[in-house]
């Protein structure tokens, strides 16, 4: 199977996404979840004319002259309105958020008035209609305000609550099983021999799964044997995983057994090599209802591929209409870069902002895909198209901000 472009790989991954099931949850648990149905407001906000300030609810015509004296007849507080009408030269003490009584059309600010017992003197006239939030200023009952596919953030979850929704219909979190592979790996904190390294990719991928709205399921490390790999695949199926992510063993070396193990189990292969750096050997396919992404073992390759392919797949499974949106943005190169070869490159780069607010990115000299430190320090990935010509410092480029 020949190398395919990043664009074609992305399109195939997104096209393979099957939406997960829908569930109804409390609004208390809705942050970060993706709506499965449009939300219409169950109420009007505010549901009444409300005071925007502390002061006195009055008729505007009664406060046009300094020194006018009004008769105080009651009080309107938030949650406890005044249920009678305001008449000529009358005032009702009112507080922010409280209902404006019938008959009143203006709020006289408390700092512009003097109250002595039940007499209120106008110290400064006020324009009629001021300081009142009209009923429905924010939204009206029945209005469609949030659409299916929207991921609820800290602002939209507040809007959904204000609309009167105590429960919302959302897509279930896609369950993503993560299986690290390789005899050379040990889990963090475990004793390692002189020939072993500490596994870390599974933690990076799990974090990206969470960011994308999925649920990460750690399956541990499978050794380099078909028995161990099959045991891991069966565990993913038993967990009801929507996606199985394998880490390492995606190439064609003598110890790269993952693709064969998946094929033996019945995987339908979509592709396994992409014209990109880092991350050329990436397995994509389907095993029954479970999507398969076999990420490379090198930490940076694993990270870049998870950002480019796994996160959009998770979002697409939740009905996000922007799952395939281009994540890149323009920036300025902080140093020269040489001509690129036939693979699309993602260069780890330092990130800064120039005095005009434009992103400045400076690729690191060392770009080895095993270097976790450089990846951790990077603020952006500089995208270099296949066969891109040399560029000088100050030239425009495209980046993915980290």
Given 317, 346, 376, the domain boundary residue is 317
Distance CA 334, CA 167 (A): 49
If you average pLDDT over every residue of the chain, what do you get?
96
Instruction: Say whether both 185 and 276 belong to one domain.
Output: yes
Name the pLDDT band for 1 (thresholds 50, 70, 90).
low
Distance CA 224, CA 184 (A): 9
Which candidate, 64, 56, 137, places its Cα nearest to that of 98? 56
Average pLDDT of 35-56?
98
pLDDT at 336 over 80: yes
CATH code at position 162: 3.90.105.10
pLDDT at 271 over 70: yes
pLDDT at 255 over 90: no
Question: Could you report the per-residue pLDDT of 126-169, keeping only the tens digit for each?
Answer: 999 999 999 999 999 999 999 999 999 999 999 999 999 999 99
DSSP result, 182-234:
-TTEE-TTS---TT-EE--HHHHHHHHHHHTT-EEEEEEEE-SSHHHHHHHHH
Tell me whether strands 39-40 and 113-116 are parallel, antiparallel or unpaired. unpaired
Q: pLDDT at position 356, please?
A: 87
Instruction: Say whether both 211 and 251 belong to one domain.
Output: yes
Question: Could you report the per-residue pLDDT of 59-86, keeping only the tens digit for each?
Answer: 999 999 999 999 999 999 999 999 999 9
Name the pLDDT band for 249 (thresholds 50, 70, 90).
confident
In a domain, 258, yes or no: yes
**∠ CA 20-26-28, rounded to 5°:** 115
In a domain, 322, yes or no: no
Name the pLDDT band for 254 (thresholds 50, 70, 90).
low
Instruction: Provide the whole-model pTM.
Output: 0.90
Domain that holds residue 368: 329-401
Which candidate, 102, 166, 94, 159, places its Cα nearest to that of 131? 94
Q: What does the block give as tokens for 342?
A: 């036939």
SS3 of 238, please?
helix
User: Any idea of the CA torsion for 315, 317, 318, 321, to the nearest 10 degrees?
Assistant: 60
Instruction: Say whether both 265 and 159 belong to one domain.
Output: no
Average pLDDT of 282-308?
97
The total number of structural domains in the chain stands at 4
């Amino acid at each position: 199977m020949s190398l395919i472009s990043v664009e074609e790989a992305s399109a195939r991954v997104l096209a393979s996404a099957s939406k997960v099931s829908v569930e109804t949850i409390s609004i208390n648990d809705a942050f970060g979840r993706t709506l499965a149905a449009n939300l219409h407001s169950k109420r009007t906000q505010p549901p009444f004319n409300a005071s925007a300030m502390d002061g006195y609810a009055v008729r505007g015509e009664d406060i046009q002259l300094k020194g006018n004296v009004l008769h105080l007849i009651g009080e309107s507080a938030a949650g406890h309105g005044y249920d009678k009408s305001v008449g000529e030269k009358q005032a009702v003490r009112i507080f922010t958020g409280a209902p404006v009584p019938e008959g009143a059309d203006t709020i006289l600010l408390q700092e512009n008035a003097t109250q002595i017992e039940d007499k209120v003197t106008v110290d400064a006239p006020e324009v009629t209609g001021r300081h009142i939030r009209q009923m429905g200023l924010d939204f009206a009952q029945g209005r469609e305000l949030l659409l299916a596919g929207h991921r609820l953030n800290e602002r939209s979850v507040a809007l959904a609550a204000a609309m009167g929704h105590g429960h919302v219909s959302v897509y279930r979190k896609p369950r993503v099983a993560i299986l690290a592979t390789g005899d050379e790996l040990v889990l963090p904190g475990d004793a390692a021999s002189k020939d072993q390294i500490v596994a870390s990719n599974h933690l990076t991928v799990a974090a990206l799964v969470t960011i994308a709205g999925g649920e990460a399921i750690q399956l541990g490390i499978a050794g380099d044997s078909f028995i161990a790999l099959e045991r891991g695949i069966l565990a993913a199926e038993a967990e009801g995983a929507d996606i199985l992510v394998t880490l390492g063993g995606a190439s064609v070396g003598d110890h790269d057994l993952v693709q064969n193990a998946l094929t033996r189990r019945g995987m339908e292969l979509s592709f396994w090599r992409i014209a990109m750096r880092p991350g050329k050997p990436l397995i994509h396919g389907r095993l029954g209802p479970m999507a398969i992404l076999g990420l490379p073992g090198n930490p940076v390759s694993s990270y870049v591929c998870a950002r480019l392919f796994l996160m959009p797949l998770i979002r697409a499974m939740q009905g996000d209409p922007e799952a395939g949106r281009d994540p890149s943005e323009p920036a300025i190169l902080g140093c020269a870069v040489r001509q690129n070869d036939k693979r699309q490159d993602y260069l780890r780069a330092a990130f800064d902002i120039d005095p005009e607010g434009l992103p400045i990115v400076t690729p690191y000299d060392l770009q080895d895909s095993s270097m976790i430190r450089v990846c951790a320090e990077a603020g952006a990935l500089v995208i270099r198209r296949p066969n891109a010509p040399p560029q000088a410092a100050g030239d425009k480029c495209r980046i993915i901000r980290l």
